């Protein structure tokens, strides 16, 4: 079973990613450590992208609600029974 990491906020993931990029750009990182940092950076990038996508979807939902176009699930008799 894969160990779940605590959910990072967008800001925390971005800060960690910036730190990794800065250390990689320094040129003082050995190759094996560089690869590990690259992998960690990819994970953090995915977290940032996910948080941004979630925020984008939430904003779209709020805009629709503000404009009076709120879509909710329509329950049929089959769904309720």
Say what angle helices 10-25 and 31-66 make with each other, to 10 degrees.
Answer: 150
Question: Any alpha helices (H) in the chain, and if so which ranges?
Answer: 10-25, 31-66, 77-80
47 vs 71, residue with greater confidence: 47
pLDDT at 46: 95
pLDDT at 69: 65
Tens digits of residue pLDDT in 20-63: 999 999 888 899 999 999 999 999 999 999 999 999 999 988 88
Question: Cα angle vertex 54, ends 7, 6, to 5°?
Answer: 5
Q: Give the architecture-level CATH label for domain 10-67.
A: Orthogonal Bundle (1.10)
């Amino acid at each position: 079973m894969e160990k779940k990491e605590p959910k990072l906020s967008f800001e925390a993931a971005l800060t960690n990613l910036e730190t990794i990029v800065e250390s990689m750009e320094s040129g003082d990182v050995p190759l094996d450590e560089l690869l590990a940092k690259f992998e960690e950076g990819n994970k953090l990038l995915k977290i940032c992208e996910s948080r941004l996508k979630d925020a984008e979807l939430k904003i779209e939902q709020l805009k629709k609600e503000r404009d009076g176009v709120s879509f909710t699930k329509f329950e049929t008799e089959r769904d309720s029974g």
